[in-house]
Chain A
Amino acid sequence: MPTLTTAATHPITGVARRGLYLDSVDDLKHMALRVRRDIITLLAEAGSGHSGGPLSITDFGTALYFHEANLDPENPAWPDRDFIVWSVGHCTPVHYALLAEKGFFPRRDLLKFRKFDGHLQGHPHRLDTPGVEVSTGSLGQGISAACGIAYGSKMDRHPRRVWSFNGDGEQQEGSVWEAAMFAAHYRLDNLIQVLDYNEKQIDGDVADVMNIAPLDQKYKAFNWNVISCDGHDWGEILQAYAEAGKLYRSGRPTVIIFHTVMGKGVSFMEGKAEWHGKPPKGEEVVIALKELGTTEADWRADLMSGEG
């Protein structure tokens, strides 16, 4: 397992580090557990939203927000920040949980997810929520926006890295491949796509709905660096990010394909496409939170208790 560091400057980009960093795998694992509890609790409160993708993203998403990326929750518009674009817009439950845990807004706000009087839209909106860079929700657009941010950063010789969260079903959008061509053509090695390959989409298995395999070979053919790993194995996750860091000046964009399980962490959701777009309800909430080591009452109280 790679050595973690909380050096004063970012070990890859050299930019001064800001925000909360977790410097041990145990702390990261614990944060991922908190994020999963947040996801179930906010979905239960909202009564609508996506469960499957957010839970499959949680582990490598936590690693990105709490170890890899350089963000300043006190100043979301910090000019030297890394940019994280959520091309897979519907994964707001994990997106918002990560932002709240990182400190972009109070955790109690998570209970206003999808509500009229909250600031957390069903799909992310940059003008409503601190830490959201691009308004997304129509699949395939965020990766192009990330290309533009990466290109502009290179024009300015700014060392930041630009991250794009993408889904596997999303790879069926044609414009993803327009962006893939652009990123390689302009050697955007400051761009890293983190791809959640949980093999499920709304209508069933990705392989049955519209097969995207072999995805690694497609990206290699598009002149990208390709890293593949188990998206729930902490050693592999951190190793994948470390490898991506070594490719920072490689002259090619990088995709990390995280092989994951839809609904990871909640037994009755794991590997089931039906959990793509619905929230747990009633007894399902009780079981899910029990499996995550808490209760709805306790975790709501935790969310309401303040910033911690």
Chain B
Amino acid sequence: MVTTFLFGLIALIMVLAALVAVTNRNLVRATMGLVLVLFGNAVLFVLLEAYFLAMAQIIIYIGAIAILIVFAIMLTRHVGEDWGPAFHRAWPWALVIAGGLGGALLFWMVRWPGGENTPAGQVDPNYVQALGQALVNPQGYVVPFEVASVLLLAALIGAIYVAWGGRRVKGPYPQRAEGGER
């Protein structure tokens, strides 16, 4: 009863926040909408008893990715500058395509017989410990774990190189003075 009410409330907040995230021309407000969706997602994970994933969601998504997005926005505009229109000229086509995608999803979802399911069993109270063991078990999930680590390393190196600019490219953006940090 409490869970149903809570789920309904969180779902409503998430959908409204997602609407703000995709329609607001002020990019910082759009990011705040995204942060609300991410936080709502974490709350839903707690409702689904996936506690480790809920905390990982907050730490990684809100604590790193959302901050990165806000940094990128703030570094590439001047304070007080107008944000410009939110959508480009062909946005009704986007509405059609996204609507079609959503419609197809709903169509096949309604036909799936398992939608009425209630949870199949209990989650082990020591799930986090067991997950830790499984992630490093050679017969377990050590391969995806290591692959994800290598992927993150590659992304790290790539992002540093791309954003550093191996050679300073001349462009309309004014270059910072050499050696200065402020």
A and B are interacting partners: no
- Chain B residues with a Cβ under 8 A of chain A: none
